[in-house]
Chain A
Amino acid sequence: MALARPTLAAIRYGYGLRPGQDSPSDADGLMNQLAKGIAAKDRFPREGLVGRRETATRVISLRAAEAKAAKEGKPNENIRKETQREAQRIYRVDAMSRLAQAIHSPFGFYERLGSFWMDHFSTSALKSLPMRMIVPLYETEAIRPRMAGSFSDLLKSAILHPAMLIYLDQDQSVGPDSRAAQESGRGLNENLGRELLELHTLGAESGYTQEDVRAAALILTGLTVDNRALQMVYRPRRAQGGTITLLGREYQDDEAGSQDHMRMLEDLAADPRTAAHICRKLAAHFISDSPPAEITDVMIAAWKESDGNLGDVYRAMLDHPLAWENPGQKIKQPFEFVVSGFRALNLPDTNMAALLADMEADDDDVGPVGKAMQMAGTAKSAEQRRRRANEANALTLGALQKMGQPIWQPPSPAGVPDTTAAWLTPAQLSERIDWSRRVAKILGQRLEPADFLHAALGDAASPETARVIAQAPSRLHGITMVLSSPEFNRR
C-alpha cells in the first residue's frame, strides 16, 4: 500500500498531521523544514542560552558554598531546598516547552532529528541537580544547530559539552600519570571513552578492543568542566600526556593545550564504521527496524562523498523511492505518540500554557503564576489546585513517565529502545489507551470521530478502522479509539 506523500512525510518524518499545517511531499520540502527549524529560535531553555548559564552557575555556586559550610558544621537546609525546588521547576518548564515546541512546530523533520540526535548523544537530567538545567541547554546549543552539517562538528559539539562531560563522568576522570592523580589519588574513568566508541561513533562489536577504550579515555583526560562558566575546559594537570595509541594511530599532547582529543574525534568521525553505524541507525529509526540495504548503501555513499555531511546523508535517504513506501513499519515512541496525539487534536498553545500554570500552581510554595492567580482572585482551593495539577501532569509529563520515556531522562547512555518489540507491549498499549481516554475526554468531546480520524491519519486510516470508529458507542470512545488505533501508533 502507498500513502499520499504528505501523509507519509508527516507520519514517518514528522510528528504527524496537524490540522491547518501543510505537510511536504518530497525530500526538498523536508530538507526545507530542517533548514528553517535550525534558523528558528527554540523554546527552551526558557531564559535563553546566556540566561541559562547564569541561572545554572548561580545555583551551582550556591550549592557549593552551602556544601562547604555544611562541612564546617554550618549546613543551610533552606539553600539546599530552595535550589532544589528552583532546578526542578526550571526543568519542568523546559520539558513542557520541549513538548509544546514539538506539538506546534511546522518543521516536523527538524523536530524529529532533534529527538534522534538527543537520543544518540544521550545525557540525563537525572544525573545531578544542575543537570536539570544543563541538559536543555545542551540540546539547544550543542545538538540542534549542528544537525545538518558535518557529523564531525556535531560529534565534537556533543562530546565536548559540559552536559556530556558530566553525564559520562569525564569531569571526574584524570590521567593515572597526571599531576592531578599524584596529588589527589584519583584516576581514570573510562565511561566517556567507552561510549564514544560503542555508542557515538564506531558502534558495538565493530572490532575495537578494551585497550582502545582505555586509550580513548586517556586521550580525553584533561577535559573537564569549569563550573563558574559552565564551559568545557582543558586542564593540563589532569591530562595523561605522552603518546597514546588508539586504533593504530598515535596521539600526543602538546604542552600548550592539547588538541589531540579533537583529532581523535575527527578520526573517529571519519572512520567508515561510524558512517555505517550512523546511516543504519538513521534508517532504522525513520523507516524500519530492518531497513533495506538499498537505502543504507546510498546513505553511506553520500556520507563518503561529502565527508560526512549529514544534510547530504538525509537527502540520500529521502531521495530513495523506498523512503516513501511500506508505511507503518515502526511503532511510535511514547514522546512521538503523545506529541502526535496533541497535534491531531490541534491543541492550542494557550492550553499548553494553562496546563503548565496548573502544574506550577501546585507547588508547595506558590510560584509566580500562583501569585498572579491569587491577585486576580482566581486562585483555587488547595484541593482543586492539586486536582488540576494532577490532571495536567497526567496528560503530559506524567504520561510520558508512565509510558517509559520521560523527557531528558533516557534509561541509559544508549538512549531509549527503538524497536517494535520494545514499544508494542501489553502494558504500553494499556497506557496509551488510558492516555487516549484522558485526552479525548478533555479535548475530543465535541469532535466527530470520523472527521477526527481523517484529521489524525488522512489516507493512512484503514477502512476497517474507519468502520469500527463510526460505530463506536460514544464520541468519547470513538476519539479514544482513533488515538489507540494501530495506524495511529505506527509510523
Chain B
Amino acid sequence: MSQNESARNKSSNFRFSRRGFLAGACCAAAAPVLTPVTFAAMPGDNRFVTIILRGAMDGLDLVQPYGDPAFAALRPKLALTPDTGLLDLDGVFGLNPAASALMPLWKAGHLSFVHAVSTPYRDQRSHFDGQDILETGGADKSQKSGWLNRALAVIPRSDARKAIDINTSMELILTGPNQVDSWSSQSDFSLADDEIAFLDRLYSHDPLFAKAFDEARTTDKAADLLYADAKRGSGIADMARLAGGMLREQYRVASFSINGWDTHVGQAGQFKKAAGDLATAITTLKEALGDEAWNKTVVLAMTEFGRTARQNGTNGTDHGTGGLAVLAGGGVAGGKVLGTWPGLGEGKLLDDRDLMPTGDVREVAAAMLYRQFDIKPSSLTSRVFPGLGFDEGSVFLKG
C-alpha cells in the first residue's frame, strides 16, 4: 500500500516544499480571513477531504427519488422528473440539474451518493448541536474534539504535526490534540441566501435597520460585495483550488465548509445556488489536484441532518432527520446510489415528516478512512467514532 512506501514527508522537507508552493501563483494575492481550510500532512499518497454542508442540505432535492411513487405529491413545487430537467442516475434517483457539472464524474465512476443517512442526533433539530455531533463524531455532545483530528492519531505512520497558526480559526472536525494547519484562500465569501434570509428576519423588528439592510442589498451591491453571488462562486472555487493545491503537495487531509443550505423559504432558487457551489467545489478540487492525485482522493460531503420530506407553506423545507452524503474522487467505486432506501409512502416517514434514517453517516466516514488510510476497524470504532458499529464488511466500502 502506498502509505507504507516511505516516510518522505518528514517535517523539514515538508516545510521546504510548502514554501515553494506558496511562492507559486496559487497564493499570490492577499488573504482575508473568511475562508479557512484546515489541513494535515502525513505519509502516503491517498487523500481525504471532508466538506461540511452547513445549514442542513436537502438530500431529497439534490438526489431526487423520482421513482418513489410518493415523492411528487410531497413536493409539488420542488419535485422534478427527467421530463422536467432532472438528470437520471439509475432509473429511480435523479440529480438536480443545478449540480449538472457533477454528471461527468458520475459517468466516470468517480461519484456516489449515500441516501437516508444521519448522525445519531435526533428530535431536537438544532443546527448548532447537529453540526457539533457531525464534527465530533460522537453519539451525543460529549465528544469535544473533532473525529478527523482523532483519526490523524491512528493513521499508521502518521507524524505529529506542528501547528503554524494561532489566529486563524479551525473547524471543529479537525480540532483536537493532533496538530493541523489552517490556511485561508484569497477570497472573502459573500453571504449565502439563507444567511441573508436570516438577517432579514433579524432586522424585521427594527424598521430603520430593516430599511438600511434592504437598501444595502438592492442598491449597494456594487459598493459592497457581501451580497454578490458571482463573488460567492469565485470564493468557493478559490477555496477548493487552495485545498486541491495543498493536497497535491504534502498535505493529505483537508476540510472546509459550504453554507447556504437552510432553505426554509423559496427553496428552488436558494438550493440552485448552494448545489452549484457544491458542484463547483468538487470539480475545482479535481482540477487542482490533477488526475494522478484525484485518483487517490476521496471527498466526503455531509450535512448535520436532512430536511422535511414535505415542502412547507413557503415553498421551502424545514429541519428533518435522514440526509444525504456525497462521495467523490478517483478513490470512490462510484456510479451508485448507496444506502437503504426507506421509502416515502404512508407510514414510512420518521414522525410522519422526515426521511427515515437507515444508516449512520459516521459509518460512511469510517469506511472512507479505512479505505484511504488503512486504519484498523477497532481503532475506528473505539477512538475515532466511539461506539460505532463498523467492520471490513461495511456496505459503504462498496461505494
Residues in chain A within 8 A of chain B (CB atoms): 351, 354-355, 358, 380-381, 383-384, 386-388, 390-392, 394-395, 420, 424-431, 433-434, 437-438, 441-443, 445-446, 448-449, 462, 464-465, 468-478, 480-481, 484-486, 489
Q: Are A420 and B208 in contact (CB under 8 A)?
A: yes
Q: Which of A430, A442, A474, A481 has the most CB of B within 10 A?
A: A474
B198→A473 contact, CB < 8 A = yes
Flag if B212 contacts A473 (CB, 8 Å): no
Bound-complex Cα distance A478 to B127 (A): 10
- The reply to whether B220 and A427 form a contact with Cβ atoms under 8 Å apart is yes
CB of B58, distance to nearest CB on chain A (Å): 13
Question: Is residue B234 contacting chain A, with contact meaning CB distance below 8 A?
Answer: no
CB-based closest 5 A-B pairs: A473-B55, A473-B262, A426-B216, A387-B31, A486-B206
Structural contact, A430 and B216, CB atoms closer than 8 A: yes
Report the minimal beta-carbon distance from B245 to chain A, rounded to whole angstroms: 13
The distance from the CB of B60 to the nearest CB of chain A, in whole angstroms, is 18
Instruction: Please judge, given known A-B contacts A392-B167, A472-B127, whether A489 and B209 are in contact too, CB under 8 Å.
Output: yes
> Which of A351, A469, A477 is the most central at the interface, judged by chain B CB atoms within 10 Å of its CB?
A477
Chain A contacts for B32, CB-based, 8 A: 390-391, 394, 438
Tell me the bound Cα distance from A368 to B171 in angstroms.
33
Distance of A189 Cα from B65 Cα, bound (Å): 81
Q: Does B34 contact A (CB under 8 A)?
A: yes
User: Do B202 and A478 touch (CB < 8 A)?
Assistant: no
11 contacts between A and B (CB under 8 A): A380-B164, A381-B23, A391-B31, A427-B223, A430-B227, A464-B205, A476-B54, A478-B128, A485-B202, A486-B203, A486-B206
Residue A474 contacts which of B31, B55, B201 (CB distance < 8 angstroms)?
B55
How many Å lie between the Cα of A384 and that of B227 in the bound state? 28
B151 within 8 A of A: no
Q: Which A residues are CB-close (under 8 A) to B166?
A: 354
Q: How large is the interface on B (under 10, 10 to 19, 20 to 34, 35 or more residues)?
A: 35 or more
Known contacts A386-B30, A430-B220, A430-B227; 4 further A-B pairs (Cβ under 8 A) = A394-B33, A425-B212, A441-B33, A486-B206
In the assembled complex, which residues on chain A have CB atoms less than 8 Å from the CB atom of B198?
A: 468, 471-473, 477, 481
- Specify the chain A residue showing the minimal Cβ separation from B24: A383
Q: Contacts A473-B55, A473-B198 given: A449-B213 contact, CB under 8 Å?
A: no
**Known contacts A468-B198, A485-B202; A358/B33 CB under 8 A:** no
Chain A residues with CB below 8 A from B265, complex form:
none
CA distance A263 to B107 in the complex (A): 90
> Which residues of chain B have C-beta atoms less than 8 A from A484's C-beta?
199, 202
**Beta-carbon contact of B128 and A448 below 8 Å:** yes
A180-B170 Cα distance, complex, nearest whole Å: 65
Which of B23, B167, B204, B226 makes the CB contact (< 8 A) with A391?
A: B167
A443 to B259 Cα, complex, angstroms: 19
Give the A-B contact count at a CB cut-off of 8 A.
142
In the bound complex, CA of A59 to CA of B341 (Å): 77
B27 within 8 A of partner (CB): yes
Knowing A387-B184, A475-B128 are in contact, say whether A424-B209 is a contact too (CB < 8 A).
yes
Chain A residue at smallest Cβ distance from B227: A430
Contact with A along B165-180 (1 / 0, CB 8 A): 0111111100000000
Task: Select from chain A the residue with minimum beta-carbon distance to B186.
Answer: A387
A residues within 8 A CB of B170? 445
Is A481 a contact partner of B199 (Cβ separation < 8 A)? yes
A424-B212, A473-B195 known; A468 and B201 CB under 8 Å?
yes
Task: Tell me how far the C-beta of B371 lies from the nearest C-beta in chain A, rounded to whole angstroms.
Answer: 29
Distance A477 CA – B189 CA, assembled complex (angstroms) = 13
- Measured in the bound complex, the distance between the Cα atoms of B28 and A386 in whole Å is 10
**How far apart sit A358 and B168, CA to CA, in the bound complex (Å)?**
12
Instruction: List B22-76 residues whose CB lies under 8 Å from chain A.
Output: 22-23, 27-28, 30-34, 36, 54-56
Does B127 lie within 8 Å of A473, measured CB to CB? yes
Cβ distance B213 to chain A, nearest Cβ, rounded Å: 6
A426 touches B215 (CB 8 A): yes
**A interface footprint on B217-240 (CB within 8 Å = 1, 0 otherwise):** 001100110110000000000000
Given contacts A354-B167, A392-B167, contact A445 B172 (CB under 8 A): yes
B33: nearest chain-A partner, CB-CB: A391
- Report B-chain residues with C-beta under 8 Å of the C-beta of A472: 127-128, 198
Q: Which residues of A contact B206 (CB under 8 A)?
A: 486
* Complex contacts, B27 vs chain A, CB 8 Å: 383
B residues sitting closer than 8 Å to A (CB atoms) are 19, 22-23, 27-28, 30-34, 36, 54-56, 126-128, 131, 164, 166-172, 184, 188, 191, 194-195, 198-199, 201-206, 208-209, 212-213, 215-216, 219-220, 223-224, 226-227, 257, 259, 261-262
**A486 contacts which chain B residues (CB < 8 A)?**
202-203, 205-206, 208-209
In whole Å, how far is B382's beta carbon from the nearest beta carbon of chain A? Answer: 26
The smallest C-beta distance from A473 to any residue of chain B, in angstroms, reads 4
Query: When chains A and B are docked, how far (Å) is the Cα of A477 from the Cα of B34?
Result: 12
Contact of A477 among B184, B195, B220, B226 (CB under 8 A): B195
Name which of A354, A380, A426, A475 has the most chain B CB atoms within 10 A of its CB: A426
Q: Within the assembled complex, what's the spacing in Å between the Cα atoms of A395 and B27?
A: 21
Complex contact A473–B261 (CB within 8 A): yes
Q: Which residues of B contact A474 (CB under 8 A)?
A: 54-55, 127-128, 131, 257, 259
Q: Enumerate chain B residues within 8 angstroms of A445, measured Cβ to Cβ.
A: 169-172
A355 touching B201 in the complex, CB below 8 Å, given contacts A390-B30, A472-B127: no
Find the B residue at minimum CB distance from A443: B169
Q: How far is the CB of A441 from chain B (nearest CB, A)?
A: 5
CB–CB B23/A383 < 8 A: yes
User: B202–A442 contact, CB under 8 A?
Assistant: no
Contact A441 B167 (CB under 8 A): no
**Which B-chain residue is minimally distant from A439 (CB atoms)?**
B33
The CA of A431 and the CA of B169, in the complex, are separated in Å by: 21
User: How distant is the Cα of A428 from the Cα of B171 in the complex, in angstroms?
Assistant: 29
A471 to B194, CA, bound (A): 11
Q: Which residue of B lies closest to A440 (CB)?
A: B169
B212 pairs with A426, CB closer than 8 A: yes
Query: Measured between alpha carbons, how far is A390 from B188 in the docked complex, in Å?
Result: 13
Contacts of A433 in B (CB 8 A): 191, 199, 226
Contacts of A480 in B (CB 8 A): 195
Tell me the minimal C-beta distance from A362 to chain B in angstroms: 11
Contacts of A441 in B (CB 8 A): 33-34, 36, 169
A residues near B30, Cβ cutoff 8 Å: 386-387, 390
Question: Would you call B226 and A430 a contact (CB within 8 A)?
Answer: yes
Bound: A364/B60 CA distance, A: 54
With A394-B33, A438-B32, A441-B36 already in contact, the answer to whether A424 and B208 are too (CB < 8 A) is yes
Report B263 CB to chain A, min CB distance, Å.
9
Q: Are the CB atoms of B169 and A468 closer together than 8 Å?
A: no
User: In the complex, A437 Cα to B199 Cα: how many Å?
Assistant: 12
* Chain B residue contacts of A380, Cβ below 8 A: 164
Asked if residues A355 and B167 are in contact (CB atoms below 8 Å), the reply is yes
Q: Which residues of chain A are near B204, meaning CB under 8 Å?
A: 464
Alpha-carbon distance A437/B19, docked complex (angstroms): 29
Asked if B216 contacts A442 (CB within 8 A), the reply is no
Give the docked Cα–Cα distance between A445 and B32 (Å): 17
Task: List, in ascending order, chain A residues with CB within 8 A of B128's CB.
Answer: 448-449, 472, 474-475, 478
Find out whether the CB atom of B205 lies under 8 angstroms from the CB atom of A442: no
For B28, B127, B262, the residue with the greatest tally of chain A CB atoms inside 10 Å of its CB is B127
Select from chain B the residue with minimum beta-carbon distance to A470. B126
Kindly provide the distance from the CB of A462 to the nearest chain B CB, expressed in whole angstroms.
7
Contact of A426 with B259 in the complex, beta carbons under 8 Å: no
How many whole Å from B118's CB to the nearest CB in chain A?
Answer: 17
Chain B residues within 8 Å of A485, by CB: 202
Name the residue on B nearest A384 (C-beta).
B22
Are B262 and A358 closer than 8 Å at their CB atoms?
no
Contacts of B34 in A (CB 8 A): 437-438, 441
Distance (whole angstroms) from the CB of A354 to the closest CB of chain B: 6
Q: How far is the CB of A484 from chain B (nearest CB, A)?
A: 7
How long is the Cα–Cα vector from A153 to B204 in the complex, in angstroms?
48
A160 shortest CB reach to chain B, Å: 42
